[in-house]
Structure 1
Amino acid sequence: MVRGYRRLRGAVVSIAVAGTLAAGSLVTGAGPAVARPAPGEASQYLVFYAQGRQADALSAIRSGGGVVEAVDAKLGYALVHGPGTAFAERLGASSSIVGVTDNRRVGSAAALPAQGPVSVPAVATPAAEVSAPAQGAFPAAASSSQAAAAATRGDPLSARQWNMKMIGATPGGSYAKDRGSKRVLVGVIDTGVDGRHPDIAPNFDRRLSRNFVVDRPKDSKGKTLDGPCEYKNCKDPADVDDDGHGTHVASTIGSPLNGIGVAGVAPGVSLVNIRAGTDSGFFFLKPVLDALTYAGDAGIDVVNMSFFVDPWTFNCARNKADSRAEQLQQAGIITGVQRALDYARGHGVTLISALGNGSTDLGHPTTDKDSPGYPAGSERDRTIDNSCLNVPAESRGVISVSAVGPSKRKAWYSDYGTEQTDLAAPGGDPTDAGTSLKGTAREILAAAPTRALRKQKLIDGSGKPTGSSVVRDCHQGKCSYYQYLSGTSMASPHAAGVAAILISRFGKPGRGGLALSPARVQELLYATADRVGCPSSGSITYSVSEQKHLCAGPTSKNGFYGHGLVNAYRAATAKH
Structure 2
Amino acid sequence: MRGRSMVRGYKRLAGAAVSLAVAGTLAAASLVTGAGPAAAAPPVADRGEYLVFYGAGAQAEALSAVKAGGGVAAAVEAKLGYIIARGPRTGFAEALGASPAVVGVTDNRRIGAATAVAAGAGPLTAPLSPAAAEGASAADVSAANASAANPSTVGKAVKAEPLAGRQWDMRMIGATPSGSYAVNRANKKVTVGIIDTGVDGRHPDIAPNFNRALSRNFVTDHPKDPNGKTLDGPCEVKSCKDPADVDDDGHGTHVASTIGSPINGIGVAGVAPDVSLVNIRAGTDSGFFFLKPVLDALTYAGDAGIDVVNMSFFVDPWTFNCTNNPADSKADRLQQAGIVTGVQRALDYARARGVTLISALGNGSTDLGDPTTDKESPGYPLGKERERTIDNSCVNVPAESRGVISVSALGPSKRKAWYSDYGTEQTDLSAPGGDPSDAGTSLKGATREILAAAPTHVLRREKLINAAGKPAGGSVVRECHHGHCSYYQYLSGTSMASPHAAGVAAILVARFGRPGKGGLTLSPSRVEQLLYATATPVSCPASGSTTYSVSEETHTCAGPAAKNGFYGHGLVNAYRAATAKG
Q: Same fold (TM over 0.5)?
A: yes
Classify 1:453/1:104 alpha carbon distance in 2 versus 1 (closer, same or farther; 3 Å). farther
Question: Are the aligned partners of 2:225 and 2:381 in contact in 1 as well (CA < 8 Å)?
Answer: no
SS in 2 for 1:326: helix
The residue that corresponds to 1:372 in the other structure is 378
The residue that corresponds to 2:443 in the other structure is 437
The residue that corresponds to 2:175 in the other structure is 169
The residue that corresponds to 1:135 in the other structure is none
Q: Does structure 1 residue 219 correspond to structure 2 residue 215?
A: no
Uncovered stretches (5+) of structure 1, i.e. residues with no partner: 16-20, 107-146
In the aligned structure 2, how far is the partner of 1:283 from the partner of 1:376? 14
Q: Match of 2:86, as an amino acid? A: H
Q: Match of 1:214, as an amino acid? A: T
The residue that corresponds to 1:96 in the other structure is 101
The residue that corresponds to 2:464 in the other structure is 458
Higher relative contact order (CA 8 A, sep 6+): 1
The residue that corresponds to 2:62 in the other structure is 57
In the TM superposition, 1:178-217 aligns within 5 A as 178-217=184-223
Q: Match of 1:502, as an amino acid? A: L
In the aligned structure 2, how far is the partner of 1:555 from the partner of 1:57? 48
Deviation string 1:404-432 (CA, Å, 9 cap, x unpaired) is 00000000000000000000000000000
2:7 to 5, 13, 34: 13
How far did residue 13 of structure 1 move?
1.9
Classify 1:531/1:451 alpha carbon distance in 2 versus 1 (closer, same or farther; 3 Å). same
1:490 to 466, 483, 496: 496
In the aligned structure 1, how far is the partner of 2:559 from the partner of 2:14? 28
In the aligned structure 1, how far is the partner of 2:320 from the partner of 2:570? 26
Classify 1:105/1:447 alpha carbon distance in 2 versus 1 (closer, same or farther; 3 Å). farther
Question: Are the aligned partners of 1:31 and 1:373 in contact in 2 as well (CA < 8 Å)?
Answer: no
Question: Are the aligned partners of 1:505 and 1:572 in contact in 2 as well (CA < 8 Å)?
Answer: yes
In the aligned structure 2, how far is the partner of 1:570 from the partner of 1:104? 47
How far did residue 478 of structure 1 move?
1.1
Classify 1:340/1:253 alpha carbon distance in 2 versus 1 (closer, same or farther; 3 Å). same
Deviation string 1:52-110 (CA, Å, 9 cap, x unpaired) is 0000000110111111111000000001111013011000000000000011489xxxx
1:73 to 71, 78, 82: 78
The residue that corresponds to 2:474 in the other structure is 468
Q: Does structure 1 residue 563 correspond to structure 2 residue 569?
A: yes
Uncovered stretches (5+) of structure 2, i.e. residues with no partner: 22-43, 112-152
Deviation string 1:104-126 (CA, Å, 9 cap, x unpaired) is 489xxxxxxxxxxxxxxxxxxxx
Classify 1:86/1:27 alpha carbon distance in 2 versus 1 (closer, same or farther; 3 Å). closer
Classify 1:29/1:470 alpha carbon distance in 2 versus 1 (closer, same or farther; 3 Å). farther
In the aligned structure 1, how far is the partner of 2:396 from the partner of 2:15? 9
SS in 2 for 1:69: strand
The residue that corresponds to 1:395 in the other structure is 401
Q: TM-score, normalised by structure 1?
A: 0.88
Classify 1:41/1:324 alpha carbon distance in 2 versus 1 (closer, same or farther; 3 Å). same
2:90 to 74, 85, 88: 85
Q: Does structure 1 residue 504 correspond to structure 2 residue 498?
A: no
1:421 to 414, 427, 446: 427
How far did residue 227 of structure 1 move?
1.3
In the aligned structure 2, how far is the partner of 1:551 from the partner of 1:27? 29
In the aligned structure 1, how far is the partner of 2:369 from the partner of 2:331? 26
Classify 1:446/1:337 alpha carbon distance in 2 versus 1 (closer, same or farther; 3 Å). same
Q: Match of 2:108, as an amino acid? A: N
In the aligned structure 1, how far is the partner of 2:331 from the partner of 2:465? 45
Question: Are the aligned partners of 2:303 and 2:353 in contact in 1 as well (CA < 8 Å)?
Answer: yes
In the aligned structure 1, how far is the partner of 2:305 from the partner of 2:110? 27
Deviation string 1:337-378 (CA, Å, 9 cap, x unpaired) is 000000000000000000000000000000101111111121
Classify 1:176/1:301 alpha carbon distance in 2 versus 1 (closer, same or farther; 3 Å). same
Q: Match of 1:507, as an amino acid? A: G
Question: Are the aligned partners of 2:15 and 2:380 in contact in 1 as well (CA < 8 Å)?
Answer: no
How far did residue 232 of structure 1 move?
2.6
The residue that corresponds to 2:140 in the other structure is none
Deviation string 1:170-193 (CA, Å, 9 cap, x unpaired) is 000000111211000000000000
Question: Are the aligned partners of 2:451 and 2:488 in contact in 1 as well (CA < 8 Å)?
Answer: yes
Q: Does structure 1 residue 274 correspond to structure 2 residue 280?
A: yes
Question: Are the aligned partners of 2:312 and 2:494 in contact in 1 as well (CA < 8 Å)?
Answer: yes
Q: Match of 1:412, as an amino acid? A: W
In the aligned structure 2, how far is the partner of 1:396 from the partner of 1:41? 37
1:327 to 328, 333, 337: 333
Q: Match of 1:6, as an amino acid? A: R
Q: What fraction of aligned residue pairs are identical, expressed as a percent?
A: 76
Deviation string 1:308-352 (CA, Å, 9 cap, x unpaired) is 001100000000010000000000000000000000000000000
Question: Are the aligned partners of 1:357 and 1:415 in contact in 2 as well (CA < 8 Å)?
Answer: yes
How far did residue 151 of structure 1 move?
5.3
How far did residue 233 of structure 1 move?
1.0
Classify 1:27/1:432 alpha carbon distance in 2 versus 1 (closer, same or farther; 3 Å). farther
In the aligned structure 1, how far is the partner of 2:287 from the partner of 2:46? 28
Classify 1:293/1:283 alpha carbon distance in 2 versus 1 (closer, same or farther; 3 Å). same
Question: Are the aligned partners of 1:29 and 1:371 in contact in 2 as well (CA < 8 Å)?
Answer: no
Question: Are the aligned partners of 1:424 and 1:562 in contact in 2 as well (CA < 8 Å)?
Answer: yes
How far did residue 26 of structure 1 move?
3.7
How far did residue 32 of structure 1 move?
11
How far did residue 296 of structure 1 move?
0.2
Q: Match of 2:209, as an amino acid? A: N
Question: Are the aligned partners of 2:17 and 2:291 in contact in 1 as well (CA < 8 Å)?
Answer: no
How far did residue 229 of structure 1 move?
1.2
How far did residue 381 of structure 1 move?
1.0
SS in 2 for 1:152: coil
In the aligned structure 2, how far is the partner of 1:85 from the partner of 1:92? 13
> When the two structures are aligned, how many residues end up with a matched partner?
518
Q: Does structure 1 residue 316 correspond to structure 2 residue 322?
A: yes
